[in-house]
Amino acid sequence: MADLVEIAQWEEGVYQLETSDPVMGGPDGVDNRQAKQLANRTRYLRAQQEAHAGAENPHPQYATLVAMQAALAALVNASPATLDTLKELADALGDDPDFATTVTNLLALKAALDSPLFTGTPRGPTPAQFDNSTKLVTTAFLSQSGLQYSPLHSGQATVASTTMDNSYIGSRVVFNNTANQAATLPPIAGLPNGASVHCSKVSTSSSGIVTISAAGADQIDSGTGLVTSVSLNPGEDCVFTVLSGAWVISGSFLFRRNAFSQSLANNGYAKLPSGLIVQWGTSTIATQSMQTVTLPVAYPNAFILAAGNTGTVISPNAASVSLGFQGNGTKTSFNVIAGTASSGSTGISWISIGY
């Protein structure tokens, strides 16, 4: 006796034995046909069940234990033990259901990285004196670098003769002795362009001058050239500012040297605070002619007038000469017309005004 051969396949139907079917056994006998069909179905269903039971996720539409464990592991993602539960996360967020809004509102109170606008009283570290980096500066840095009066000498120091160091940068240094005084500026080496010292010789000292000298091989641009020292008279002050490796000066001293300069020669000039310039001189001109007299300095803006004395002919006789003075459309000269005498030359003295 042998078992029927089973095939794991699904049979669409089960054969119905008919009354006319002969009795026939064997593997292909009609009497075994129903049994084979049912056995095949059973083998097929068993194979399906075994595959289902052995699958890691046999029902993808349903959450399995494995899937849930993987999802939880991904959610925790190696979080520390104190932050791997919803309760712990809620505690860390302060149980704030609107945590995102709270953080957004707090961030809105912060200054932006691009073009920040600070309010209140922001503070920061003060860079070293004369720092030339891209660090943000404080008002203390401005003071110690001479960009406003320095607090190192309470903004002002009254001194006798002294040798200044960098602590005087940004200060007003006052000299008030009636005797002559001398002072030396700080060395330029290490000072940035714009570092300055304000020196004043107070007018209450009716006598005595103060001589301000550059240190070592440093020089001072006085407005008329490079020098090693300058002198301040009572009532004068001068600001010494570092620029391109030299001390450049400004103040009443500079006006005295430049804007109010003068030449006291026979042919000279004097520049007045109002801008008016007075010039004078002497000349010899031929009679019966018009000659041009060149001014010692050119007027920056306009020639106003020229006048002079009438002259006496030097040769060949002593006849008197009438003179006429007139502008010629330039700022550098004027014309003189000499008449009456038939020949000879005459010496004249003249004065001119312009601005």
CATH number of the domain that 165 lies in?
2.60.120
pLDDT score recorded for residue 278: 96
- The 3-state secondary structure of the chain, one letter per residue: CCCCCCCCCCCCCCCCCCCCCCCCCCCCCHHHHHHHHHHHHHHHHHHHHHHHHHCCCCCCCCCCHHHHHHHHHHHHCCCCHHHCCHHHHHHHCCCCCCHHHHHHHHHHCCCCCCCCCCCCCCCCCCCCCCCCCCCCCCHHHHHHCCCCCCHHHCCEEEECCEECCHHHCCCEEEECCCCCEEEECCCCCCCCCCCEEEEEECCCCCCCCEEEECCCCCCEECCCCEECEEEECCCCEEEEEEECCEEEEECHHHHHHHHCCEECCCCEEEECCCCCEEEEEEEEEECCEEEEEECCCCCCCCEEEEEECCEEEEECCCCEEEEEEEECCCCCEEEEEEECCCCCEEEEEEEEEEC
* Tens-level pLDDT at each residue, the chain (355 residues): 688 888 999 999 888 888 888 888 888 888 888 889 999 999 999 998 988 888 877 777 777 777 777 777 787 787 788 877 878 888 888 899 999 999 899 888 888 888 888 888 888 898 888 788 888 888 778 767 665 566 666 667 788 778 999 888 888 888 888 788 899 999 999 898 888 898 988 866 556 788 999 999 999 997 778 999 988 888 788 899 999 899 998 865 655 544 466 788 899 998 876 778 999 999 888 888 899 999 999 998 899 999 998 655 555 555 677 888 999 999 999 999 987 766 778 888 899 999 9
The reply to whether 325 and 237 lie within a common domain is: no
244 in the same domain as 163:
yes
The domain that holds 315 is classified in CATH as 2.60.40.3940
| Domain C-terminal end among 10, 25, 54 | 54
Assigned domain for 75 exists: no
Give the count of domains, the chain: 3
168 lies in the same domain as 238: yes
Range of the domain at 12: 1-54
Q: 0.85 exceeded by the pTM? A: no
Domain-embedded: residue 13: yes
pLDDT of residue 141: 80
